[in-house]
Structures are given as C-alpha cells and as structure tokens.
Amino acid sequence: MLFNSFIFILIFLPLAIALYFILNKYNPKLAQAYLLGMSLWFYGYQTPEYLIIIIASIIVNYLLTYIMRRSSDKKIRLSLLILGLILNVANIGYYKYLNFIKWNINTLFGTDFAINSIVLPLGISFYTIQQISFLVDSYKNSNLKYNFLEYALFVTYFPQLVAGPICYHSEIIPQFEDDNKKRINSSNLFIGLTWFITGLAKKVFIADILGNGVNYAFDNLELLGSLDIWITSLAYTFQIYFDFSGYSDMACGIAKMFNFDLPQNFNSPYKALSIRDFWKRWHMTLTRFLTTYIYFPLGGNRVGAFKAVINTLIVFLVSGIWHGANFTFILWGLLHGILLLVGRYTKTITSKIPKIFRWFGTFMIVNVLWLLFRASGISDWIFMVKKMFHFDKAELSHELLSNFDSAVSPLLVIALSILICIALPNNYVRTRKHNTFSAVIYAALLVLCIMTLNRVSIFLYFNF
C-alpha cells in the first residue's frame, strides 16, 4: 500500500489510528496486536505473497534471538549469531543479488546459469538490517526481554516498514509500552498530520513532476545535448531528495499521530560543505547502522591510518551493494568513500576555502554522482558526464521539457527546489503553529495533493 493513495489516506490511516486508541482503553496488548495486523495488511495489500517472506523472517530471527538470550554458553550464542547473519544475508542475497551473481559468473567463465525472474520483496533491505541489528544486540546483551508481539511489531510497524527510517529496537519497542503514549494527543495529531501533508506535497508536487522528465532523459540519452543533461542531473538530484525525504516526513508524521517518535533521517543534506558532511545529513539512519555494525566492529579509525582507510571503503562498498545489484551502485559507493577520505586528509587545507565554494563543490560532486546512481550502466554515466562538459547545444530540448508533464516549467520547479533546500529549515527543526490559519493552509494543501493522486507513483527507495 502506498502513502500517496486514496485507500491509505481516506480509509487505512483513519481506521488504524481510531481503533488503535480505542483498543488501548480496554486492552493495550490487543491494540498492539491490531497495529501488527494493520501493518501486515499494509505490507501485503498489493502482493500478499510478500507476507510469507517477512513472517518467516520474523519467526526465524525471533527464535534465534530467544534461544541466544537464554543461553549462557558463549559458543552457542556465537554460533546462533553467525547462523542468523548467514540466514539474513542469504535471504536478501537470493532475492536481490542472485541474478546479478549468476550474470557475472556467466560473463567471466562462459557458464550458462539460468537468469530467472525474481521479484524483489518490498522493504526487504530495510527490515533485514533492522533484524540484523536486533540479532547483534541480543548477542551482546542477554537482558533483552521483548516478547514476540513486541518484536514483530517493531519489524513491521507500517510507517517505516518499506523505506525507513531504519530504527533500533531500543528506540521503538519501549514506546509501544509507554502508558503515556496510549491516549490520543491532539498536539501530536496536528503535528503528525502537518508533517505527513508536507511530505506528501514534496512527493506529488516536486519529485513526481521532475521524475517524468528524468525518466524520458535516461531512456533517450542519445537525443540529449549538454544543457539537457545538466537539467536532467539537477532534476534527478532534487527528485530523489524530495521523494525519499518526503517518504521519511510522511513516516515520521504518521508515527507522531500514534504518539511515537522515529529517528531523524535527513538534515538538509544539500547544505553540506563536504562529502563527509553530506553523509552526516543524508539517509542518516543507514549511515548510523553502517557505522555501528560494520565500521566500529572492524576497528573504525582506532586501528591505524591504513586500516581506517580500508574500513571506510568497506563501509561505502557495503552501502553501494545495499542499494542495488549493479556495478553503478558499487562504483557510486566507492567514489563517495574515496572522496570522503580525500576530504578527511585534506581538511586543514579545505577548511580555509570560503564556505560558498565548499558548498558549491560538494553539491556539484553529489549532483554528478547521482547520475551514476540513476544510470543503467557505467558506460551511460560516462557518456553523460562527457556530454555535460562538451557543450554541444546551447538550448534545451523541447521533447525533454514537454516530458516533465507539468503546467509549471520544470526550470521553475528546480529553482523552487534549490530555494527550499538551501534557504528553508527542514521539518525536524521548524516550528508548527496550532491555529486556524495553519489548519486551513494545510487542509487546502492536502486537498490539492489528493486531487493529484490519479497519477500515483511508487517511491524511489522501494526499489532498494
């Protein structure tokens, strides 16, 4: 089920909120079970087969952690941890990377392994690493006493299930048990609703408009001139931000309506002054997971300069692979890692450069690398980068502009996107006034958003 759909906005969400708080008055455990059921309905709405995979994953992981937390034998605990990690990696590896591995083996060794059609279950990358974090924490701390209902709800809680933010059990499960959060709160309801509407507006009025032109451009690269590719790169840079941050805003807003707080996932990433700064601001919960569960266990930067470099590259390699089974993602991750290291070791020099130039340089690097992230192959990316600086055409293609499919000029949408990203505070820090004027503005914005839902599109990170 999509956040940006009639059934979710007009039926699912009101029903989920209303009955959850009603049930909490009589039986909090029943309310939790209801929320779990609604989350499973949300996840399996369009493809019920996905439920088999996620339910099996939840049962297996919970059983492993249950046994692990009740065993005092270190060898047994370690064996269960290793088994759990192997099963989780194998699960995501089968659905996401098996065909990629087969294709590479066939290419390298001339074999003929069949490339079968495997449908990637929605959110498998997200709910798998959440369960890996719980598995590792259970190995480290045998005092975790969560029951199966709490654990299952932690994994499946619908606002963050499909595309994050990536949550830790310590952030979410205690909130399920907090008695102060079991009664409806009008202030949280208002804040959550405005947050949700803002995210929805980001999606339908910016990301989707820019996405139409981006899709055309990547399908017709040979027809584009230099200026076309510059516009395409900017359009995709803002499409992916407003699409993904819009989803995160909606997720945090929905959770707030239930009186729950999800971790921050974005902090104005296009204000970054370096690649390191960018990764402190972009998809923050993924960066946090990779740092906590990969970088630190490898030794971080406490094992010498050379190993610190290798550890950083490993983290960014994993980040690239996590995003998808394509060499474009692998190269994208490694290039970000290399540039972060260059920035780390030239910090004393670059810190003397005026901020405006550091910001512009960082933004342009991120912008060019987003083309690699979106390209179908590395050769396409190289073709686009070469053409960006070839300057073979001084005008924009009419076909490209017309494919943005909007009454508003895409150049205006891009200019508005720059203004929002650079000049305005993000949703995590801005204040919201509870008054009639604000209510009317947000209500009007919601109506406008709903009027566009006849052209619903999925969120970009559903693919990852």
User: Annotated catalytic, 434?
Assistant: no
d(CA 272, CA 287): 15
Query: 392-396 long-range CB contacts below 8 Å, 24 or more apart?
Result: 392/225, 392/226, 393/225, 393/226, 393/227, 393/228, 394/227, 395/225, 395/227, 396/225, 396/227, 396/228, 396/231
Handedness of CA 310, 316, 322, 325 (dihedral sign): negative
d(CA 136, CA 127): 14
Name, in order, each residue with C-beta under 8 angstroms of 458's C-beta and a sequence gap of 6 or more: 2
Burial classification of residue 215, based on how many CB atoms lie within 10 Å of its CB (0-12 exposed, 13-18 middle, 19 or more buried): middle
Q: Which of 283, 323, 336, 434 is catalytic?
A: 323
Within 10 angstroms of residue 124's Cβ, the number of other Cβ atoms is 21
335 vs 93, 251, 260, 307, 319, CA distance in Å? 23, 30, 37, 18, 11
Q: For residues 45 and 38, is the Cβ–Cβ distance under 8 A?
A: no
Residue in the block written with tokens 């474009």: 328
Closest CA to 427 of 116, 261, 194, 128: 194
Residue in the block written with tokens 């394509």: 326
Q: For residues 384 and 377, is the Cβ–Cβ distance under 8 A?
A: no
For residue 146, give both structure tokens: 């969560």
Residues with a catalytic annotation lie at: 323
